[in-house]
Structure 1
Amino acid sequence: MLRFDDLQLFVRAADLGSLSAAARVMDMSPAVASAALKRIEAQLGARLLARSTRSLRLTAEGEGFLEYARTALSSLDEGRRLLARGQDQVSGVLQLSAPSDFGRNLLLPWLDQFQREHPQLTVRLLLGDRIADLFRQPVDIALRYGEPEDSSLVALPVAPDNRRVLCASPAYLAHKGEPQQLEQLLQHNCLLYMLGTRVHDYWQFHDGKRELGLTVSGDRFSDDADVVRLWAVAGAGIAYKSWLDVAGDVQAGRLKVLLPELTCERAPLNMLCGHRAQLSKPVRLLRDMLSEQCGILSRSRNP
């Protein structure tokens, strides 16, 4: 297969009438240039340039091949320009995966606005709390809470300072009482989230001096984070949720934050992709928009 840089060298040498001049223009040594010319001639099975110590001229075969080489290089340059324009446009299909709770209650309205601003963009959205296999599932990017376990993935922070909060509905607190100390959670019905076979029943905190943690229990488990939120809003118990997921409920009075003096677990939101080539203009713009919106919600927790 002919190499792009070999074709460039041949055309430059023909235009300049000198292989050494072509080598200087292309920032390569005379030896490398000579090897490149020999390589293309060997691949074509024809001598393209007749060389002596003082002159260089096209052979008959070289004259015949020169225009084809120019055409090929021109076509490749045009193709590269088309790709560059395509990467700069906000169009095409954006395939992403997002957590169920964040996706339904925050991402959907934000995506609606994003598509109104970019009407040529098509969105394919997969919702679920399992870690998307970016090399097998039909997605370009995934939004996920927590630090990525796969070090081969590219992780871009969206809400790096997001944390969990303890929360419950006013109706539940009126019926069961509001816990004033962390240990009192053991007397309450805690709403538990599970991922795969793992139940997240060990809740961790920091009181400003030391790490605290306890194993809680309850009568409800779900592998859908939005179901846990809905149970909390319905008054079924106490939830330990990402602030982003319950900010709207807290602001509307449907949920109340408990033990606010404690610092809860980090729950950073990241945008994950398999490699940086997937960071197209739509992806970069989406990340900017999500970072801005999540920042507004984060500041509403700590104004």
Structure 2
Amino acid sequence: MLRFDDLHLFVRTAELGSLSAAARHLDISPAVASAALKRLEQQLATRLIVRSTRSLRLTPEGEAYLAHARQALQSLEAGQQQLDGSREGISGVLQLSAPSDFGRNTLLPWLDDFQALHPLLHLRLLLGDRVADLFREPVDVALRYGAPEDSSLVALPVATSNRRVLCAAPSYLARRGVPQNVEALAEHNCLLYMLGGRVHERWRFQAGKREQSLVVQGDRISDDADVVRRWAVAGHGLVYKSWLDVAGDVQAGRLQVLLSHSLGEATPLYLVCAHRAQLSKPVHLLRDFVQARCAGLLAQAPWAN
């Protein structure tokens, strides 16, 4: 019978690209981690990971099995959370801040499911792309892209493997054509996002060890990330956004991923708070719940296949 902790180790190893890093993350010794991976491979009667002294890679069988392992862990996690909620009956008010696009179009239905598991819990949701002042504003925790620059804040990882992807609507591509390389973006209308008064106009990509960046231009700029995504869906130009923001649009065919041979910028999602005292049981349950849902989306990301 497959063991939960063996599956967990395999998924963490694949995500971190290192068995020793996965062992540290799970607070176990490298020897225990190695034995767990060997046990899983023996039970499946297949090699999942090829290791050398300096590198690690998934076998084709390991790549195929990874999506199933993530889904299994997500299902088990949801079941555990339901049991925990029914036993503990968490209640009170949880004040949460989230980015506008991720909050409206991805997080919102997840929160409906979370409250169904914990009906005594009240949520107060603040959406916006301006970085909330966690020391002054009425917010318990915030979901944020990127590690906080303020080292005094507490940041828990939620989706560390998330990246930006280049997308456009089929209607735009039918009019303007599909860009074949990063340089071709100079010939396209790029929809731009502004945060803190600064326009994010330099788009960065990586193909193997080669890094490329380009300052792009377009006829539309907004300080609301949801507006930029809506412009893209309407066919007004190219957009460079977090996979977690656009995964639903891509899966529904409203947007198409471009330059899939190049990796977009890393855009990790963190749960951030001002003090460790704010890491209550409801906060931990919410973080685990959102982390499991993000893992499901990330398993379908272009770079995961």
TM normalised by structure 1 equals 0.70
Distance 2:237 2:169 in 1: 8
Distance 1:212 1:171 in 2: 27
Q: 1:89 touches 1:281 (CA, 8 Å); kept in 2?
A: no
- The aligned counterpart of 1:278 is 278
Q: Give percent identity, aligned residues only.
A: 69
State the secondary structure of the residue aligned to 1:151.
Answer: coil
Q: 1:207 touches 1:263 (CA, 8 Å); kept in 2?
A: yes
State the secondary structure of the residue aligned to 2:171.
Answer: helix
The answer as to 2:270 corresponding to 1:266 is no
Unaligned runs of 5+ in 2: 1-87
The answer as to 2:293 corresponding to 1:297 is no
State the secondary structure of the residue aligned to 1:261.
Answer: coil
> What is the identity, as a one-letter code, of the residue corresponding to 1:141?
V
Distance 2:248 2:89 in 1: 33
CA offset at residue 211 of structure 1? 1.4
- The aligned counterpart of 2:160 is 160
Distance 1:228 1:214 in 2: 19
Q: 1:96 touches 1:124 (CA, 8 Å); kept in 2?
A: yes
Distance 1:89 1:278 in 2: 18
State the secondary structure of the residue aligned to 1:244.
Answer: helix
Distance 1:110 1:90 in 2: 17
CA offset at residue 90 of structure 1? 1.1
State the secondary structure of the residue aligned to 2:167.
Answer: strand
Q: 1:134 touches 1:273 (CA, 8 Å); kept in 2?
A: yes
- The aligned counterpart of 1:45 is none
- The aligned counterpart of 2:150 is 150
- The aligned counterpart of 2:131 is 131
CA offset at residue 276 of structure 1? 1.0
CA offset at residue 147 of structure 1? 1.6
- The aligned counterpart of 2:38 is none
Higher Rg:
1
- The aligned counterpart of 1:237 is 237
- The aligned counterpart of 1:254 is 254
Distance 1:271 1:131 in 2: 13
Length, aligned pairs only: 216
State the secondary structure of the residue aligned to 2:157.
Answer: strand
Unaligned runs of 5+ in 1: 1-87
Q: 1:244 touches 1:297 (CA, 8 Å); kept in 2?
A: yes
Q: 2:158 touches 2:270 (CA, 8 Å); kept in 1?
A: yes
The within-5 A match list for 1:212-227 is 212-227=212-227
Deviations 1:129-170 (A, max 9, x none): 111110111000000001211100000000000000000000
Deviations 1:250-275 (A, max 9, x none): 01110000000001100000000011
Give the alignment's Cα RMSD to 1 decimal. Answer: 0.8
- The aligned counterpart of 1:188 is 188
> What is the identity, as a one-letter code, of the residue corresponding to 1:101?
D
Q: 1:93 touches 1:124 (CA, 8 Å); kept in 2?
A: yes
- The aligned counterpart of 2:100 is 100
- The aligned counterpart of 1:202 is 202
Deviations 1:183-240 (A, max 9, x none): 1100000000000210000001111122110100000000000001000000000000
CA offset at residue 124 of structure 1? 0.4
- The aligned counterpart of 2:12 is none
Distance 1:219 1:116 in 2: 43
Q: 2:89 touches 2:118 (CA, 8 Å); kept in 1?
A: no
State the secondary structure of the residue aligned to 1:300.
Answer: coil
- The aligned counterpart of 1:116 is 116
Distance 1:184 1:191 in 2: 15
> What is the identity, as a one-letter code, of the residue corresponding to 2:282?
P
- The aligned counterpart of 1:66 is none
Deviations 1:42-63 (A, max 9, x none): xxxxxxxxxxxxxxxxxxxxxx
